[in-house]
Structure 1
């Protein structure tokens, strides 16, 4: 068991308080802090604080993939740690985006390599040949857009705004309220000429103001469109956002975002686990490159309510968020204070644990022990045995566990 030191990513949409507070540093931070990365991503690998000194986790995995990852994981993922764990703290909305499937990523990467597009080029879509499913679990109240809403509900929303210029688009969906109708409307909106967008969006925003003042049925959706419209004037992503489920997750609730799911995180702090990939197809709410034809190849227009996961009991004190992602699995460990509760983390390949509340003691059968306070994390190599966890003192503790997927 080795403690980790993890890199903080200072993206502009990040929070000045959430990650600094978690790590026990001065609040507010001098600049926005968006993501804390835990893992072996080449861009910012964690540092392992071992008895023999400090080492990059990426270097440890590269030098001893079987010992660090286990034979099954190393063979399946080409001697790479297949997941990246993050603490994500959003003060402002992230870009509207989707991620490719494994087959789409492999084909797209090969195509762009053959075309000679530099991997760091702003027009590059596929920076590696792997998929990027992800899951976000709320630590605070967490706001997001994810997945296409039931088309009938979207028709009701659009009609409630009473914007004459929207009527034609609304009827496109009303006459075909299914995935094909959503694709047609989405494609129409995302390819609108800029002068048309510049004329339409102010009318939509004015109608949203009136809807909010009247305490209409879609108050939260309209407030969101107003916020996005103010931050990204003239952006087609503002219209696209009107087609998506608007979610408010409570702490402990999670959503899984498989390939093709269009989404945007809006506000809040959460634990995110994702495949160790950089492949993103952006739709809008960003000044970065938007490749509309490639986006349309990747998007899944399956529609309906977005499932919210609460975690399935897997062992005493341990709840697991079940998905079909082979790259990762996330579990939440809740420990009562005092001698009331303990949990066991089995020897199941590579493991990263981060304490998000209270303090927790980790012990192995051979007597090794480590104590984690809030914000601290630990690396457990596949070769290491199972670990017993219990809360330190009378206060309850919470720990998140990241492992490779069982699929």
Structure 2
């Protein structure tokens, strides 16, 4: 029995995606045999067993990946198989983003289960959804609350935000920042978070009429002074993408604006506010579709749940970036503080090779650029598999692999899961 299978993966087409001729998702979907329409947005490529877009083994029988894993416990190891009930615990994706996604957070397991039980029409499953994004191209995102003094500075620079919050809330925030904004004592940090929650809650619950009025006032002022700093330009851009007074535009003055280069990554834990804004990334998440939205979206907004669920941790944009560790001569490991997944990024120059040690769990890899070959050992026999841009493979547990680049650079990302007792 083989331990390596090439997969056919499905692309998702949402309004915010990049169009076919420039979308990485479209380019990779072509490798799976999809016909691409240049005028259509291609937003996400899903690699995994999620029922909304399940991956299929590219063989005569067209076996669904979920079935392959379910019927062959050895491909996962018994420990992983038992822990995740014969399924894959992660969903691996490529995203190509033309316009901002909603400001959102993902519930933890307890809240996820409650929302699913009480509002199944809005929340489709009870799982939590921690996720990690690794930049494929320069990538922009909002992630977590800014340091408090930066938010206070924005209340001064953008008086329309201060007006929206009202004098009492603004003054209480200024006083708090002045008194305990820099403090690291547990008591003060807890108090700071309460005040930050009040500020964010006031913003998100503002009346639509007031938001529309103050946002148009802000945009008019920024255009008049020809504001060219990154934050003002972002405010103008988000307002153009979601016209008509979306409160999410104001949120970017409170959340960290992060620009990542290829090789940089962010991890988004449960109950952390975020929004992807532009670029292409590799994303990995726990298998779930549980999202609480509150801005930059025409979809259902659940403002009270969002305001109450957030952790209100605050800190610098840099503190949100992950520090990878060496995994091989040409590979880096991104290992978030959760059980379901980790990701390895391998970058080989022309005519280079790397042997990767066997991983004690199932993995999925996608070639993001270049070409070459993969040699996998299974049952003492070796087989070669072609590596080309957009090719996706499932690799069974404990399979040693060797990746060899061709005459140009080869890059691939590999998501995997191991049992938690490791």
TM-score calculated relative to the size of structure 1? 0.89
Contact 1:94–1:264 (CA under 8 A) maintained in structure 2: yes
Report the alpha carbon displacement of residue 23 of structure 1 after superposing the two structures with TM: 4.6
What is the match of residue 197 of structure 1?
211
Distance across 1 between alignment mates of 2:227 and 2:361: 55
Aligned partner of residue 230 in structure 2, secondary structure: helix
Aligned partner of residue 53 in structure 1, secondary structure: coil
Report the alpha carbon displacement of residue 231 of structure 1 after superposing the two structures with TM: 2.5
Report the alpha carbon displacement of residue 222 of structure 1 after superposing the two structures with TM: 1.4
Matches within 5 A, 1:13-52: 13-16=16-19, 17-18=22-23, 19-23=25-29, 29-50=38-59
Measured against aligned partners, the alpha-carbon deviations of 1:128-154 in whole angstroms (never above 9, x if no partner) come to 121100001011000111110011111
What is the match of residue 332 of structure 1?
345
Residue correspondences, number: 388
Distance across 1 between alignment mates of 2:28 and 2:266: 22
Distance across 1 between alignment mates of 2:173 and 2:219: 20
Measured against aligned partners, the alpha-carbon deviations of 1:171-224 in whole angstroms (never above 9, x if no partner) come to 34212233222211110011112222222222222343356x254xxx111111
Aligned partner of residue 283 in structure 2, secondary structure: strand
Contact 2:15–2:41 (CA under 8 A) maintained in structure 1: yes
CA RMSD of aligned residues (A): 2.1
Work out which of the residue numbers 381, 391, 394 in structure 2 matches 1:376: 391
Report the alpha carbon displacement of residue 87 of structure 1 after superposing the two structures with TM: 0.6
What is the match of residue 103 of structure 2?
96
Measured against aligned partners, the alpha-carbon deviations of 1:2-28 in whole angstroms (never above 9, x if no partner) come to 111100001011011222234557876
Report the alpha carbon displacement of residue 315 of structure 1 after superposing the two structures with TM: 2.1
User: Residues 374 and 295 (structure 1 numbering): CA distance in 2 closer, same or farther, change over 3 Å?
Assistant: same
What is the match of residue 150 of structure 1?
147
The worse-fitting range, judged by mean Cα deviation, of 196-205 and 132-141 is: 196-205
User: Residues 301 and 210 (structure 1 numbering): CA distance in 2 closer, same or farther, change over 3 Å?
Assistant: farther
Q: Are 1:259 and 2:270 an aligned pair?
A: yes
Report the alpha carbon displacement of residue 80 of structure 1 after superposing the two structures with TM: 1.9
- The gaps in structure 2 that reach 5 residues or longer are 178-191
User: Residues 298 and 165 (structure 1 numbering): CA distance in 2 closer, same or farther, change over 3 Å?
Assistant: closer
Report the alpha carbon displacement of residue 394 of structure 1 after superposing the two structures with TM: 2.5
The worse-fitting range, judged by mean Cα deviation, of 240-249 and 306-315 is: 306-315
Q: Are 1:399 and 2:415 an aligned pair?
A: no
TM-score calculated relative to the size of structure 2? 0.86
Matches within 5 A, 1:100-119: 100-110=107-117, 112=118, 117=119, 119=120
- The gaps in structure 1 that reach 5 residues or longer are none
Contact 2:147–2:314 (CA under 8 A) maintained in structure 1: yes
